[in-house]
Structure 1
Amino acid sequence: RDLVTGMAKDIPPENLATFVGSLREHNARADVVLFVNTPISSRHQKICDAHDVIVVEFSPDKLEPPELSKYHPSTYRWPLIKNWLQARQPRYEGGRVLLADVRDTAFQSDPFAEF
């Protein structure tokens, strides 16, 4: 199974809608997993629900190990994504994984079409 994932900490709803809306316009099959800091707003949740997004909520002050919270989200996203993916490895084995910058990405075609 293909996977598109990324960090959506404190993302403006407009950016979130652009990311998932443009992706789903070109690819409705891949799993989309976004790491969103708690508490998730109802507006963000509605956008995710409308585009079949798997939301992984996290709290920056409860990261493990605690030292991770000292880093910028662009750094601590990697262990969050790695740990989540390792725990679900059988589902994605043999699939393709795209790690994207959610805040500033818009899709103009299926990101997996060229692979």
Structure 2
Amino acid sequence: MRGGAQLSVTDLRRSTRHPVNLPIIGEHRARGDIMLQLANVSTTGFMATGIEGLTRGERVTIRLPHIGRIEAFLVWIDGDRAGFQFERIVRLDDFAKLIKALQPNLKARQDRQDH
């Protein structure tokens, strides 16, 4: 791929990243379904671990709660970690719903500990 991905979103590395531990299935055009372990997510992209066989510029489509299907481009890779940039910036209200959906239910956890 000459010159890597042509990204429409500028590099906004200052976006707040929220730590997550989320296994997710990514859809890759040539490799089909691939497993990704999301380590953090922001309105502009995500970092995943356990990455094997992907190179910069490759595209993966993922499905996130409240966001739906969204394509992301691999922009950096370091060992088994990789940073992906979304094709578009996620709206802040949708992102807040995503984070709320990914956070553990603290009340339910506390109720289990009491029993």
TM-score normalized by the length of structure 2: 0.26
Q: Give the structure with higher Rg (CA).
A: 2
Q: 1 or 2 for the larger relative contact order (CA 8 Å, sep ≥6)?
A: 1
Which structure features the higher share of strand residues?
Answer: 2
